[in-house]
Structure 1
Amino acid sequence: MTMLSRVLGLLRDIVIAATVGANALADAFFVAFKIPNFLRRLFAEGAFSQAFVPVLADYREQGSHAAVQALVNRVAGVLGGTLLLVTGLAVLGAPVVAALFAPGFLDDPHKFDAVTGMIRITFPYLLLISMTGFCGGILNSYGRFAVPAFTPVFLNLSLISAALVAAPRFAEPVYALAWGVALAGVLQLLFQLPSLYRLDLVPRPVWDTRHEGVRRILKLMGPALFGVSVSQINLLLDTVLASFLPTGSVSWLYYSDRLTELPLGVFGVAVATVILPSLSSHRAAERSEDFTLTLDWAVRMILLVAVPAAVALVVLAEPILVTLFQYGELGSFDVRMASYSLQAYSLGLIAFMLIKVLAPGFYARQDTKTPVKIGIVAMVANMVLNFLFVLPLLFWFNLGHVGLALATSASAWLNAGLLLRRLRAEAVFHFQPGWGRFVLRLLISTATMGLVAWGLVPAVPELAAMGPLHRALAIGLVCGGGGLAYLVCQAALGARLSQLRTPRSHA
Structure 2
Amino acid sequence: MQIVNKKDSFSNKSIAKSAGVIAIGTMASRILGYVRDMIIARLFGTGSPAQAFFQAFRIPNLLRDIVGEGATNAAFIPVFAEYLTKKDKKEFWELANVLMNLMLVILAGISIVGVLISPVIVRLIAPGFVSDPEKFHLTVRLTQVMFPYILLAGLTAYGSGILNSLKYFSIPAIGPCLFNIFLILSALLLCQKYKIGASFSEGLFNSSFRYLSSLKKVWI
Q: TM-score range by the shorter chain?
A: 0.7 to 0.9
Q: Is the CA contact (8 Å cut-off) linking 2:183 and 2:202 kept in structure 1? A: no
Partner of 1:15: 39
Q: 2:111 aligns with which of 87, 90, 108?
A: 87
Q: Is the CA contact (8 Å cut-off) linking 1:33 and 1:178 kept in structure 2? A: no
- Cα distance, 1:194 vs. partner? 4.3
Alpha-carbon distance in 1 for matches of 2:183, 2:169? 24
Partner of 1:183: 202
Query: What do the CA deviations read for 1:24-71 (whole angstroms, capped 9, x no partner)?
Result: 331111011122111111122213321111111121121111111011
Mark the CA change 1:192 to 1:168 in structure 2 (over 3 Å): closer, same or farther. Answer: closer
Divergent runs of 4+, >6 A: none
Alpha-carbon distance in 2 for matches of 1:184, 1:76? 23
Q: 1:192 aligns with which of 194, 197, 211?
A: 211
Q: 1:156 aligns with which of 163, 180, 185?
A: 180
- Percent identical pairs in the alignment equals 36
2:120 paired with 1:114:
no
Mark the CA change 1:70 to 1:15 in structure 2 (over 3 Å): closer, same or farther. Answer: same
When Rg is computed on C-alpha atoms for both structures, the one with the higher figure is: 1
Q: Which amino acid aligns with 1:192?
A: Y
- Cα distance, 1:14 vs. partner? 1.6
Give the 3-state SS of the residue equivalent to 2:199 in structure 1: helix
Q: 2:73 aligns with which of 42, 49, 52?
A: 49
2:145 paired with 1:133:
no
Q: Which amino acid aligns with 2:67?
A: F
Alpha-carbon distance in 2 for matches of 1:26, 1:142? 40
Q: Describe how 1:18-29 pairs up with structure 2 within 5 A.
A: 18-29=42-53
Superposed CA RMSD in Å reads: 1.9
Q: Describe how 1:326-475 pairs up with structure 2 within 5 A.
A: none
Which of structures 1 and 2 has the larger relative contact order (alpha carbons within 8 angstroms, sep 6+)? 2
Alpha-carbon distance in 1 for matches of 2:113, 2:158? 22
Q: Which amino acid aligns with 1:181?
A: F
Query: What do the CA deviations read for 1:264-318 (whole angstroms, capped 9, x no partner)?
Result: xxxxxxxxxxxxxxxxxxxxxxxxxxxxxxxxxxxxxxxxxxxxxxxxxxxxxxx
Alpha-carbon distance in 2 for matches of 1:74, 1:189? 21
- Cα distance, 1:119 vs. partner? 0.8
2:124 paired with 1:100:
yes
Alpha-carbon distance in 2 for matches of 1:48, 1:63? 20
Give the 3-state SS of the residue equivalent to 1:143 in structure 2: coil
- Cα distance, 1:198 vs. partner? 4.1
Alpha-carbon distance in 2 for matches of 1:89, 1:19? 31
Q: Is the CA contact (8 Å cut-off) linking 1:125 and 1:181 kept in structure 2? A: no
Q: Is the CA contact (8 Å cut-off) linking 2:185 and 2:203 kept in structure 1? A: no
Unaligned runs of 5+ in 2: 1-24
Alpha-carbon distance in 2 for matches of 1:127, 1:181? 15
Alpha-carbon distance in 2 for matches of 1:111, 1:98? 11
Query: What do the CA deviations read for 1:215-238 (whole angstroms, capped 9, x no partner)?
Result: xxxxxxxxxxxxxxxxxxxxxxxx
- Cα distance, 1:80 vs. partner? 0.6
Q: Which amino acid aligns with 1:180?
A: S
Q: Describe how 1:311-326 pairs up with structure 2 within 5 A.
A: none
State the TM-score, normalizing by the size of structure 2: 0.81
Q: Which amino acid aligns with 1:30?
A: F
Structure with bigger helix share is: 2
Alpha-carbon distance in 1 for matches of 2:157, 2:204? 11
Alpha-carbon distance in 1 for matches of 2:150, 2:31? 23
Alpha-carbon distance in 1 for matches of 2:42, 2:163? 36
Q: Is the CA contact (8 Å cut-off) linking 2:122 and 2:136 kept in structure 1? A: yes
Q: How many residues align?
A: 196
Q: Is the CA contact (8 Å cut-off) linking 2:68 and 2:150 kept in structure 1? A: no
Give the 3-state SS of the residue equivalent to 2:167 in structure 1: coil
Q: Which amino acid aligns with 1:187?
A: N
Partner of 1:250: none
